[in-house]
Amino acid sequence: MLRLVLSLVALAAALAGCATPERAPVAAPGSLPLPKLVLVVYVDGLSQDRLARAHDLLSPNGLRRLTDRGAWYSDAHQAHAFTVTAVGHASPMTGAHPYQTGIIANEWRSRDGKLVYNTGDPAHRYLDGSPVGEGDGVSPKNLKASTVGDELRYATNDASRVFAVSGKDRGAILPGGKTGTAYMYSARTGRFTSTSYYMQAHPAWWERYYAGKPQDQWFHRRWDPLLDAQAYARALPDGQPWSTSYRKLPTRMGMVYGMGETAPGPFYYSTLLAGPYGDEATAEFAIELVRQEGVGRNPAGVPDLLAVSFSSHDYINHNFGPESIQSLDHLVRLDRTLARFFDAVDAAVGAGNVLIVATADHGFMNVPEFSAGRGFEAGRVDPGETRNAVNAAAEKRFGIPKLAYQHMTGGFSLDYAAIDARGLPREEVEAFVARATREQPGIAFTFTRTQLERGLMPSHRIATLVQRAWHPEMAVDVVVVPKPFHYFQSRTTSSPNACSHGTPYTYDTNVPLLLQGERWIRPGRYADYVETIDVAPTLAHLLNIRPPSASEGRVLKAALAQP
């Protein structure tokens, strides 16, 4: 009888253990304690060279906390061809390139011409009613790989909390993965909101926070230079002729946000991100989230993860160029904002308990007029004009009108139905279109679907980055890469940019990669070539969890305090 009782007790204990699995991860034997919080910071559009050139103007507890007291990789790259926001936010936390993540651009078109927004999902509405793109909601539906946050939550039976905050939906949703909670800026209300994918209603603390209308504090605030004139000698003077206006904002320093409105309204909210105060709003909301959700103070004793993407630098570089006084002043102001943000996180979580990773989704080319003034061939390539010229040549050769029937990020889609109806070999037609495209102004490289599918690519860097960025189910049939110092922009666009990004050249791929946390990271300046996909396996190693599903990066062993 006693043996039976003991057996029943043992069985009950075993069943209880199955019902309540041990919470993991735990520190590996002989390793350091796990961080309470992993903080991942993106600065949208910040290239490595801009950080290096402004380093002496930065504050001790902002970005210099990371560069001077952490590991700074100066030869880090977003190592794929089409360096845009969505792609660059997906890669670090998945450890994967676009051919695996499925995020090949900010938007693309299906074969039938339907526009696909990278995070678009009309099944999930914005909680404050704000529309986006072609639908009325967003989610991580299109992301085909898991993230560090997804794997952390899996390892802890969902006890770890994963949050992501950004001025752009893609800057929050893609780093947050399938199981995190994303908040993004609403240009309609000036608030950071979520969607029904994550929750059916905002939490009570969110309602209390926005009851005070903190988003209105920058209404009629001027943007003037923060430092004295000598500090900006390394930047171009204000008022360059190529400066462009974001939604009719002025194109010189001294701009006032909300000018023309007597109270905060649609114009003010829609332009707030295009200046330094958008980043301040992002930081303030993220701090409130940390405090109210107890991020980094997990009652289960497991790590939490927070990703925050600061979006304003991208808008400013598009409008004024990375060499502008606006770009430099904004970086200085963002640095001060980051210092306050880091201090607030330390106060909430405890100094020494936070592991920080900082990077950027892409760099930025110089303004073409600036590059031309320095003796380089530079310019803007109109994709419509290029496609029209190629189609004219193709129609003359094959008798097929509008053979390249649409353009999107990366090149042209071809009318294979018309090609097959005429009994033409697809490979021959693709090769003709590729040659005809290379003959157009401003074009450096072209690659065909046949080359990409069969692995017939040349053995140079550009071809490798194109292969990584190409997804066979949704990408173009002829990939087109502009020449250095060129980018695609229609001559008739209603919203021109002073300059842009999106190419495989180093000014677009070379971004900062910084890691800081005294317990886990060995400080130093590292010259090794690394890629942003190395972030995911490095964090997985430090958190003692499995790497994300498509991860192909490597652990940054040299920067680890304890390999």
Peptide bond into 175 cis (omega under 30): no
Both structure tokens of 549: 């599903």
- Amino acid residing at 319: N
pTM: 0.94
Q: How many residues does this entry show for the chain?
A: 563
Contacts of 323 (CB under 8 A, 6+ apart): 235, 236, 366, 367, 370
Whole-number Å distance between alpha carbons of 228 and 554: 43
Q: What is the rounded distance in angstroms from the CA atom of residue 446 to the CA atom of residue 433?
A: 9
The tokens for 401 are: 């009108």
Per-residue model confidence as pLDDT tens for the chain (563 residues):
434 444 444 444 444 444 444 556 677 666 778 999 999 999 999 999 999 999 999 999 999 999 999 999 999 999 999 999 999 999 999 999 999 999 999 999 887 888 899 999 999 999 987 655 445 689 999 999 999 999 999 999 999 999 999 999 999 999 999 999 999 999 999 999 999 999 999 999 999 999 999 999 999 999 999 999 999 999 999 999 999 999 889 999 999 999 999 999 999 999 999 999 999 999 999 999 999 999 999 999 999 999 999 999 999 999 999 999 999 999 999 999 999 999 999 999 999 999 999 999 999 999 999 999 999 999 999 999 999 999 999 999 999 999 999 888 899 999 999 999 999 999 999 999 999 999 999 999 999 999 999 999 999 999 999 999 999 988 999 999 999 999 999 999 888 999 999 999 999 999 999 999 999 999 999 999 999 999 999 999 999 999 999 999 999 999 999 86
If we measure between CA atoms, which residue out of 273, 305, 309 comes closest to residue 290? Answer: 305
Instruction: Read off φ and ψ for residue 118, nearest 5 degrees.
Output: -55, -35
Q: Which long-range contacts (CB under 8 A, 24 or more apart) does 395-403 make?
A: 397/432, 398/422, 398/424, 398/429, 398/432, 403/429, 403/433
User: Domains (ranges, CATH) in the chain?
Assistant: 37-367+504-559 (3.40.720.10), 379-488 (3.30.1360.150)
User: φ and ψ at 405, to 5 degrees?
Assistant: -90, -10
CB 65 within 8 A of CB 392: no
- What is the rounded radius of gyration, in angstroms, for the C-alpha atoms of the chain? 25
Region at 251 (left for phi over 0; alpha for psi -120 to 50; beta for the rest) = alpha
pLDDT for 160 equals 98
- Give me the phi and psi of 271, to 5 degrees please: -110, -5
Instruction: Give the span between the Cα atoms of 210 and 232, in whole angstroms.
Output: 36
Single out the residue of 364, 376, 374, 369 nearest to residue 322, CA to CA: 364
CA atoms within 13 A on the CB side of 134: 12
Residue position matching structure tokens 């240009």: 187
37-43/304-310 β-pairing:
parallel
Query: Which residue's structure tokens are 């770009």?
Result: 327
Report the half-sphere exposure of 26 (CA within 13 A, side-chain side).
Answer: 4
Question: What does the alpha-carbon distance between residue 520 and residue 513 come to, in Å, rounded to a whole number?
Answer: 16
- Find the helix packing angle between 276-293 and 312-320, rounded to 10°: 170
467 membership: H or E segment, kind and range: helix 461-469
352: left (phi over 0), alpha (psi -120 to 50) or beta: left
Predicted confidence at residue 130, as pLDDT, reads 62
Output the six-digit token pair for 32. 């350091």
Beta bridge partners of 73: 513, 526
| Residues paired with residue 379 on neighbouring β-strands, in sequence order | 486
φ, ψ of residue 410 in degrees (nearest 5): 105, -15
Cβ contact 81:74 at 8 Å: no
Contact 43, 313 (CB under 8 A): yes
**How buried is 453 (Cβ within 10 angstroms: 0-12 exposed, 13-18 middle, 19+ buried)?**
exposed
Instruction: Tell me the sheet residues that pair with 120.
Output: 138
Burial of 450 (0-12, 13-18, 19+ CB in 10 A): middle
231-257 pLDDT tens trace:
999 999 999 999 999 988 999 999 999
